[in-house]
Amino acid sequence: MLRLKTNILTPVSAQETRFIPQAIITIEKDVISGISTNGDYDIDLTQSLCLPGFIDTHVHLSQHFVRGRHCPHLLDWLNLHIFQEERRSRDAAYARQVATCFFADMVSAGTTTAVIYTAPFAVACNTAFEAAESLGVRALIGKTMMDQNCPDYLRENTLKSVEESIELYRRWHDKSPLLDYIFTPRFAPTCSSVLMEKTADFASSHDAFIQTHLSENTDEIAWVKELFPASSSYTAVYADHGLLTPRTLLGHCIHLQDAELALLAQSGSAITHCPDSNFFLKSGAFPWRIIEKQGIPFALASDVGAGTTLAMPHVMQMAHYRQEFTPLSLEEVFYRATLAGAEILHQADTLGSIAVGKQADLVFRTLPNGVEHSASSLLSLLTYRANELPVNQVYIAGKKVHPRP
């Protein structure tokens, strides 16, 4: 048992954030077993703010070393920077170096759970799992799948791509309570109908997670229309191939028509909103209130490497800045970076907030002097001045992962 005295800031819903000063968190094994405002404690962290670990719902691990490489257009950026970098992760030693740095940077930024794309090589995915397991982080990881319309050095054989993905799923799905596999067709232009259908068949029959990209860029949408003329829309391409399920996560979703919104709402699929990436690539602004009105679940994501940082407070800040004509509350953006991520991962009972019975995924950030100790003041500080709140300790499932023991 471990008892920590600290100041808790945690989401309750999209409308409410709770601040509990001078609270004692009791951890037994991997779970929060108690929260009180009096009693004995083992460690004094009252100079820190305790947050639930952030949940990054869409990030490209194999692009970590080239994040923020300038090119303000999605398809050109992929060809100029990203595909060449992902090629390097064919080498196990390089893939291991990237993965080790990625997870160390992730936890030091206060993120405890991530949903990850790796380069389209089994070795890149395996080394990512091994690095995650070694550090003790929580992650869903998938090997990017692509069998057409891409450089030869990344193009996979269709059946081999599916078989390798299934093998990775079987190896990692039940190995650790912190880790799982997510099937990862990159996006419709680089995936054949056979690849998408076979992936959907296996994932659906095993209740497995799927992730891909949707409607990020107008040129991309036009390209999809040329490649799949039988489908009525980009979203319909995924529906027609069986990829839209309640366990599907769709990155971006900026330029959706009404019929596409209806398809998503009907399917139960969720969206991963990447405001930093969208701004960087000039892709467009996310239709926040429209998505919300449709009842489509969504959460925030860094989308490194078009996203420039793994720090989710920066993503929260960019979410505010990108909504030029739609004021957002601090509470709802904090919720989208934490509890909403747990919800779209079907883990809201165990992750995303600080509460008795939940996993002890906790991040402690040093409080500067002169800060008013209230929910609104601390949320403002976290969203707009997070660099003044350095991360000093991170626990995942009750174990300290940063700094390393």
For 228-264, the pLDDT digits (tens) are 999 999 999 999 999 999 999 999 999 999 999 999 9
Helices (H) and strands (E) in the chain, counts: 15, 15
Helix (H, G, I), strand (E, B) or coil at 7: strand
Give the Å distances, CA to CA, from 32 to 80, 242, 321, 356, 365.
Answer: 46, 39, 35, 5, 19
Residue 267: count of CB within 10 angstroms of its CB: 18
pLDDT for the residue 103: 98
Helix (H, G, I), strand (E, B) or coil at 355: coil
Average pLDDT, the chain: 97
Strand duo 362-366 + 43-52: pairing: antiparallel
Q: pTM to 2 decimals?
A: 0.98
| Beta carbons of 391 and 109 less than 8 angstroms apart | yes
Intrachain domains 2-52+351-402 and 54-310 with the same fold: no
Instruction: List pLDDT tens digits, range 40-49.
Output: 999 999 999 9
pLDDT for the residue 71: 87
Which residues are registered as beta bridge partners of 115? 140
| Beta carbons of 98 and 123 less than 8 angstroms apart | no
Rounded to an integer, what distance in angstroms lies between the CA atom of residue 288 and that of residue 310? 22
Query: Amino acid letter at 37?
Result: T
Query: Would you report the helix, strand and coil content of the chain in percent, each value rounded to 5?
Result: 40, 25, 35
Instruction: Label residue 55 left, alpha or beta by phi (over 0 means left) and psi (-120 to 50 means alpha).
Output: beta
For residue 342, pLDDT over 90 is answered with: yes
Domain boundaries, the chain: 2-52+351-402, 54-310
Instruction: List pLDDT tens digits, range 86-130.
Output: 999 999 999 999 999 999 999 999 999 999 999 999 999 999 999
Rounded to an integer, what distance in angstroms lies between the CA atom of residue 187 and that of residue 139? 21
The upper half-sphere exposure of residue 315, i.e. CA atoms within 13 Å in the direction of its Cβ, equals 34
Residue 241 DSSP class: T
Closest C-alpha among 358, 346, 345, 349 to residue 395:
358
Burial of 134 (0-12, 13-18, 19+ CB in 10 A): exposed
Architecture of the domain delimited by 2-52+351-402: Roll (2.30)
What CATH number is given for 54-310 in this structure?
3.20.20.140
Helix (H, G, I), strand (E, B) or coil at 288: helix
Residue 97: enclosing H or E segment and its boundaries?
A: helix 92-108
